[in-house]
């Protein structure tokens, strides 16, 4: 190219490039590289017109890819040459020879939309928050182009201030200067505000406002009270995690006897005092998402009270991610306060997290002594994300704030659009268009009518943000689910198809989708409850699966589930059923049941009557209930006060066993069944565990043996599937695989045999991942 000749490029950048300071970043590197032109939000991408000598453009493109804001995610960049300066003008209608690079007004175009999740307060803003010389000193809504609320304040795309909750708060002259000048950290930061022009804290029902409201809330917590605090995506209930009486009172008021509370800790020094961290966990704890991570408790030198997570070797820990939380710990009022707060979702049991003053007053006032709120509207709920860790990577339990609605991208697209409505428990929904799948923030359990209303509102809002009009709706097969009824209603109203996806197939497809795997797999789907194609309860399933269909190949051995929903909470009932099946001699079975202390008197009589007469019974292959039964057999938990309690306690008992896990020499499979499916010998395993306990084996050793033996059976089941199908790729999914010990045993056993094992990471294996599987299965059915 001749000296002085300038080349022109038309660039489109796709990904999380709105709400993360991307346009200001582009402007800064353009000026540094001597680029003339413009940058604009187009809704589905950021558009750049760039003109400069070729060397400057090369430097600009390199910086665009390698220096992008840390909160951005570039999925693809499209470039097209527009010629040279002698041949054409800029495609945006501006004269590139004016020596300027402009951020121009946003406009909308059709295409995939990428909405940024909310971003935890960045280190620079945290430093300014506590700097007495900074004009945002102690400002509880401090933010910049790199941090602050995004999804939860957004009304519509493109992401500009007037389309957010902050549009109600006009900028003061100082904030407007920062917003319009590229030299500042808040250049085009849409939620920018300060103490003079931003929202103000207040206590509902009292006169305290601003700093006085914060000081009053600190006083409540410091003196052992409970405060409801409005955060980014909803309210939390907060108390001193070092105060046993305060935690006990919160449990009583929230009707939550033992389910673990999340604990927010002031800083990483506090985390290290209380817990053991693995490599990589520090980075996520302090990163832009700041989820709750389940960490191993330390044995000594800790100050968090036992009531925060009773009987649990792990503690759900997060760091402050919003300025108001940082100020609760560090406001300089001269009063000392705890460095550990219980910070649990502000909601009644089973309901979604409260998001506005009306809900907080109605539902949270009976549970707390003060409600600290603010006038910035939350547009969509976003509870805290929760994760475990496996093999050095996150292993998601609840995917929500900080992660939703980041898309899962499939290798192939169909050009269609779909809404996966999700499951009945741990509900999320998922919009999809072409190859992009957008799981929603966590909603909750749909057995509560309030959660259904929250689902309806969130579905409408997220669909509008993503600009997706679904051509079909996917749901679970269960005829009694509220989500199934909702899907059918929406499909009827919109005159579009409603596609039912079998529960366990959806689990396997969600695992395939997360791994970008589109070929056939052997699916192992172990969970609590799913409606089978034969009308029975499934939950310990082996299948040959692709994205659109499956063939059931085997399961754990069926048992009689007697007692309806009560049996799902009282594992002793399932244990009685399994042990009666395990012994040919009924009297011998009843003797074992009695010696184990599973049930006596009227309880055992009622259970025997139901089993003997087929009253309130159904056939089940639920692996979740199997774990509950073994937990009862070993005297770990006879019943559960929250979902998964008995199974979790069994896992903890197994993890605490320090010796070499013995093998019991059981045959892997039960007798062949007339339906042609293989069955794992899980009834025999339950009997073996019962007799081992009665024979003097420790609870911990027997629990470890159960996990190891079940994993060996699962591996043997996969071998049978491989013999039949010739497949060597295994997908592990379902809520039972939240049990990291079972996952580890299965993973290692399968890998030793040469299988490729697909596992979850950022999509939960539990029912929180169902919506992704439903959407992907429905999309595949159209191809």
With bands split at pLDDT 50, 70 and 90, how would you rate the model's confidence at 97? very low
What letter would DSSP give residue 280?
T
pLDDT score of 110 = 64
What does the pLDDT look like over 356-368, one tens digit per residue? 999 999 999 999 9
Cα 515 to Cα 32: distance, rounded to the nearest angstrom: 39
Length of the chain: 783
What letter would DSSP give residue 460?
H
How big, in percent rounded to 5, are the helix, strand and coil portions of the chain? 35, 20, 40
What does the pLDDT look like over 304-356, one tens digit per residue? 999 999 999 999 999 999 999 999 999 999 999 999 999 999 999 888 999 99
pLDDT score of 99 = 55
> Exposed, middle or buried: residue 320 (CB in 10 Å: 0-12, 13-18, 19+)?
buried
With bands split at pLDDT 50, 70 and 90, how would you rate the model's confidence at 267? very high
More confident residue, 706 or 116: 706
More confident residue, 188 or 549: 549
Question: What are the angstrom distances between the C-alpha of 435 and each of 409, 514, 715, 779?
Answer: 6, 12, 33, 9
Cross-strand partners of 618: 561
With bands split at pLDDT 50, 70 and 90, how would you rate the model's confidence at 92? very low
What letter would DSSP give residue 118?
P
What does the pLDDT look like over 20-66, one tens digit per residue? 778 888 998 999 999 999 999 886 789 999 999 989 999 999 999 89
Tokens describing residue 598? 């599973």
Nearest Cα neighbor of 730 from 749, 758, 690 is: 758
Residues 718-722, mean pLDDT to the nearest whole number: 98
Cα 254 to Cα 181: distance, rounded to the nearest angstrom: 48
Cα 73 to Cα 760: distance, rounded to the nearest angstrom: 21
For the chain, what percent of residues have pLDDT higher than 70? 96
Among 156-160, 295-299, 768-772, name the one with the lowest average pLDDT: 156-160
What does the pLDDT look like over 141-155, one tens digit per residue? 999 988 999 999 998
Cα 534 to Cα 555: distance, rounded to the nearest angstrom: 14
Q: Tokens 């609760």 map to which residue?
A: 328
More confident residue, 608 or 96: 608
Question: For the chain, what is the radius of gyration of the CA atoms?
Answer: 28
Tokens describing residue 249? 């009172």
The sign of the CA dihedral 173, 178, 182, 183 is: positive
Residues 254-283, mean pLDDT to the nearest whole number: 96
pLDDT score of 18 = 72
What does the pLDDT look like over 505-555, one tens digit per residue? 999 999 999 999 999 999 999 999 999 999 999 999 999 999 999 999 999
**pLDDT above 70 for 96:** no
Tokens describing residue 319? 């760091």
pLDDT score of 359 = 97
What does the pLDDT look like over 463-494, one tens digit per residue? 999 989 999 999 999 999 999 999 999 999 99
Cα 447 to Cα 444: distance, rounded to the nearest angstrom: 9
């Amino acid at each position: 190219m001749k000296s002085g000749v300038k080349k022109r490029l038309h660039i489109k950048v796709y990904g999380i490039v709105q709400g993360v300071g991307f346009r200001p970043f582009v402007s800064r590197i353009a000026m540094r590289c001597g680029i003339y032109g413009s940058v604009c939000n187009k809704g589905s991408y950021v558009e750049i017109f760039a003109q400069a000598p070729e060397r400057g453009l090369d430097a600009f493109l390199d910086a665009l890819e390698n220096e992008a804001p840390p909160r951005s995610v570039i999925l693809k960049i499209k470039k097209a040459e527009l010629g040279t300066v002698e041949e054409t003008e800029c495609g945006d209608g501006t004269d590139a020879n004016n020596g300027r690079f402009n951020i121009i007004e946003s406009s909308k175009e059709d295409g995939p939309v990428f909405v940024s999740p909310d971003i935890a307060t960045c280190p620079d803003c945290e430093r300014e928050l506590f700097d007495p010389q900074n004009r945002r000193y102690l400002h509880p809504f401090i933010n910049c182009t790199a941090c602050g609320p995004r999804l939860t304040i957004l009304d519509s795309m493109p992401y500009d201030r007037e389309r957010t909750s902050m549009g109600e708060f006009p900028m003061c002259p100082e904030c407007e200067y920062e917003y319009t000048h590229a030299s500042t950290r808040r250049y085009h930061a849409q939620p920018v505000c300060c103490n003079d022009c931003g929202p103000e804290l207040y206590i509902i029902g009292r006169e305290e406002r601003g700093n006085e409201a914060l000081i009053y809330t600190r006083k409540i917590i410091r003196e052992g009270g409970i405060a409801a605090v409005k955060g980014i995506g909803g309210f939390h209930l907060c108390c001193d995690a070092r105060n046993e009486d305060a935690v006990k009172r919160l449990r009583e008021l929230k009707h939550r006897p033992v389910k673990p509370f999340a604990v927010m800790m002031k800083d990483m020094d506090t985390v290290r005092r209380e817990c053991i961290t693995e490599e990589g966990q520090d980075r996520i704890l302090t990163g832009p998402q700041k989820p709750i991570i389940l960490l191993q408790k330390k044995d000594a030198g800790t100050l968090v009270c036992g009531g925060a997570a009773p009987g649990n070797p792990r503690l759900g820990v997060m760091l402050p991610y919003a300025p108001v939380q940082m100020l609760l710990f560090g406001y300089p009022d001269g009063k000392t306060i705890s460095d550990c707060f219980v910070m649990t979702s502000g909601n009644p049991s089973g309901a979604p997290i409260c998001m506005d003053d009306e809900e907080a007053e109605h539902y949270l006032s009976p549970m707390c002594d003060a409600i600290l709120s603010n006038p910035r509207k939350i547009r969509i709920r976003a509870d805290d994300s929760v994760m475990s860790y496996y093999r050095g990577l996150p292993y998601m339990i609840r995917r929500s704030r900080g992660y939703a609605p980041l898309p899962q991208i499939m290798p192939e697209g169909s050009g269609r659009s779909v809404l996966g409505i999700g499951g009945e428990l741990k509900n999320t929904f998922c919009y999809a268009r072409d190859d992009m799948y957008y799981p929603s923030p966590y909603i909750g359990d749909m057995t509560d009518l309030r959660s259904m209303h929250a689902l309806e509102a969130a579905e409408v809002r997220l669909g509008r943000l993503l600009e997706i009009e679904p051509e079909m709706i996917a749901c679970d097969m269960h005829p009694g689910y509220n989500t199934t009824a909702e899907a059918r209603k929406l499909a009827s109203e919109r005159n579009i198809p409603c596609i039912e996806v079998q529960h366990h197939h959806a689990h396997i497809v969600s695992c395939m989708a997360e791994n970008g795997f589109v070929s056939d797999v052997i699916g192992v789907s172990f969970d609590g409850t799913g409606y089978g194609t034969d009308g029975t309860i499934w939950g310990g399933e082996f299948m040959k699966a692709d994205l659109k269909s499956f063939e059931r190949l085997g399961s754990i051995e069926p048992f009689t589930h007697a007692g309806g929903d009560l049996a799902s909470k009282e594992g002793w009932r399932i244990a009685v059923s399994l042990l009666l099946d395990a012994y040919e001699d009924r009297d011998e079975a009843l003797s074992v049941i009695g010696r184990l202390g599973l049930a006596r008197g009227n309880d055992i009589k009622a259970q025997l009557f139901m089993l003997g007469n087929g009253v309130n019974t159904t056939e089940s292959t639920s692996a979740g209930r199997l774990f509950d039964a073994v937990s009862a057999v070993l005297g770990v938990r006879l019943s559960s006060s929250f979902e998964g309690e008995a199974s979790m306690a069994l896992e903890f008992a197994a993890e605490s066993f320090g010796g070499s896990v013995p093998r019991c020499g059981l045959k892997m499979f039960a007798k062949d069944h007339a339906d042609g499916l293989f069955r794992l010998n899980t009834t025999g395993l339950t009997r073996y565990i019962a007799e081992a306990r009665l024979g003097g084996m420790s609870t911990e050793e027997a629990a470890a043996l159960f996990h190891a033996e079940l994993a060996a059976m699962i591996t043997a089941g996969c071998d049978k599937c491989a013999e039949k199908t010739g497949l060597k790729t295994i997908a592990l999914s379902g809520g039972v695989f939240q049990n990291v010990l079972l996952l580890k045993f299965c993973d290692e056993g399968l890998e030793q045999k040469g299988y490729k094992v697909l596992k979850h990471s950022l999509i939960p294996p539990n029912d929180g991942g169902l919506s992704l599987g439903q959407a992907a299965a429905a999309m595949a059915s159209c191809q």
